[in-house]
Amino acid sequence: MSYHADDKGYYGEFGGAFIPEMLYPNVEELRSKYLEIMYEDSFQKDFHQLLKDYVGRPSPLYFAKRLSEKHGCKIYLKREDLNHTGAHKVNNTIGQILMAKKLGKTRIIAETGAGQHGVATATVCALMGMQCIVYMGEIDIARQAPNVARMKMLGAEVRPALSGSRTLKDATNEAIRDWINNPLDTHYIIGSAIGPHPYPDMVTRFQSVISEEIKWQLQEKEGRELPDYVVACIGGGSNAAGSYYHFLDEEEVGIIAVEAAGKGIASGESAATSALGKIGIIHGCKTLLMQTDDGQITEPYSISAGLDYPGVGPMHSHLHQSGRAEFYSATDDEAMTAGLELSQLEGIIPAIETGHAFAIFQHKKFKADDIVVISLSGRGDKDLNTYIDYFKLA
């Protein structure tokens, strides 16, 4: 079985490009050129140079000794939190800004939930001197104020999405509408492994640097390239896609996804798409989707703005349906507890999104000699207010 996109952008029955005709020229231009551009020598050289000198890659693969002792297995942390801008998001925005330049685009739009992708996009736009407009749900603007300020300082314009639930889903709708209105000069930097083909595959390939590094780093530390498990949190699923990519065809590597259960899967306030969703169309792709029986997309909930999305990338829908990946979900409380534990055992305060990945230890027991790599996708600075409120730290 293939776990990669076919030439029409399908992962099994998921994926494709369900876009209105207004977007066809842009998406088709990207589809017909992305692989060729990405694998040009000059593009690869620029991409890897920036990842090294600007982002600070390779990110360390860190053996978490105390966490390992606590949970009775060998835990390695892939330190995407140490990237410039504080999360894995920048791997993709570096790639896409170079792509936009090759396509001759001068104006960049993006959607953001927690603000990490917005900051990563504003950052590369500043780097390249490009105009940057970030759409962000009005609710998220209120709960992620530091990231809004960062985007503005980087020269980006932050436009509030006022429709629907005023969160990530609606910010994505607004970005798509902007692209319909500005088809010629604009490139849309989607921040997750979602959207119409070729976005899920393109974003996954840019993020695949994560698993590429894990392989040789683990070889250095353990004398083997393959861990027993790779664990990542999933909203749309870009850090997960990048962390899994080079292990997908290695069936002996267990793939583990942790979604946001919010207040509990059955609570009506959740974002656990694999448990609650069924196949449908969102933002141009066919994937598992939280919706009513009537096909209206429902409002998700999670304490973490970055996982607060009613769909999941089509690759992950396929990994779920085919049984290649094990899917778990962690509640707000479990994720917050896991974040506190990581802070106090290893001195690393994770993003709340990332806390969900660490909640795996509340759900699954690993064997003593299991090597478990966890994608530490982002740092928790942006979430301090939420942590303060939750743990009454003030």
Partner 1 sequence: MTNRINQKLQENGKLLSIYFTAGYPSLNDTVHIIQDLEKCGVDMIEIGLPFSDPLADGPTIQKSSTAALGNGMTTERLFEQLAGIRETVSIPLIVMGYFNPMLQYGVDAFCKKCHEIGIDGLIMPDLPLNVYRSEYEEIFKKYGLINVFLITPQTSEERIRIIDEASDGFIYMVSSASVTGSKEGFGNTQTEYFERIATMNLKNPQIVGFGIKDADTFEAATKNAKGAIIGSAFIKHLTTNGISQIEAFVKSIRN
Per CB under 8 A, the list member of 19, 214, 338, 351 interacting with partner 1 is 19
The smaller minimum CB distance to partner 1, of residues 16 and 306, is found at 16
Residue environment code for 53-78, b if the CB has 16+ CB neighbours within 10 A, otherwise e = eebebbbbbbebeebbeebebbbbbb
Question: Which span (19-27, 52-60, 211-219, 317-325) binds partner 1, by CB under 8 A?
Answer: 19-27
Q: Which two tokens stand for residue 59?
A: 């990110």
Helix/strand/coil for 244: helix
Concatenating the DSSP letter of every residue in 354-368 gives HHHHHGGGGT-PPPT
Catalytic member of 174, 238, 377, 382? 377
Q: Give the CA distances from residue 186 to residues 155, 320, 328, 332, 342, in Å, rounded to whole numbers and listed in that order.
A: 17, 34, 38, 37, 41
**The one among 9, 16, 115, 254 contacting partner 1 by CB under 8 A:** 16
Closest CA to 327 of 220, 234, 204: 234
Of 283, 316, 356, 379, the residue at the interface with partner 1 (CB under 8 A) is 283
Query: Considering beta carbons, is residue 22 or 384 the nearer one to partner 1?
Result: 22
Q: Is 101 a catalytic residue?
A: no
Q: Is 111 a catalytic residue?
A: yes
If one asks whether residue 110 binds partner 1 (CB under 8 A), the answer comes out as no
Out of 4, 13, 25, 249, the residue judged to bind partner 1 by CB under 8 A:
25
Give SS3 for 339.
helix
Whether the Cβ atoms of residue 358 and residue 339 lie closer than 8 Å to each other:
yes
Residue where the block lists tokens 């002792």: 69
Based on CB atoms, which residue is closest to partner 1, 66 or 177? 177
Nearer to partner 1, 41 or 294 (CB): 294
Kindly identify the residues of this chain, within the stretch 161-200, that bind partner 1 according to CB under 8 A.
Answer: 163-164, 169, 173, 176-177, 180-184
Catalytic residue among 89, 102, 105, 382: 89
The sign one gets for the Cα dihedral 59, 306, 93, 126 is negative
Residues 6+ apart with CB under 8 A from 268: none
Which CB, 296 or 368, lies closer to partner 1?
296
Q: CA torsion 132→136→140→145, rounded to 10°?
A: 20
Active-site residue flag, 270: no
Given 191, 227, 254, 280, the residue binding partner 1 (CB under 8 A): 280
Question: Using CB under 8 A, which residues numbered 291 to 330 contact partner 1?
Answer: 291, 293-298
Q: Which residues lie closer than 8 Å to 15 by C-beta, 6 or more apart?
A: 5, 8, 9, 197, 200, 285, 286, 287, 314, 315, 318
Q: Please tell me whether residue 17 binds partner 1 under the rule CB under 8 A.
A: yes
13 versus 251: smaller Cβ distance to partner 1: 13
Which residues in 75-104 contact partner 1 (CB under 8 A)? none
Are 113 and 308 contacting, i.e. CB atoms less than 8 angstroms apart?
Answer: yes
Instruction: Report, in Å, the least distance between residue 180 CB and partner 1.
Output: 5
* Chain residues in the site for partner 1 (CB under 8 A): 16-22, 24-25, 163-164, 169, 173, 176-177, 180-184, 279-284, 289, 291, 293-298
Active site residues: 89, 111, 377
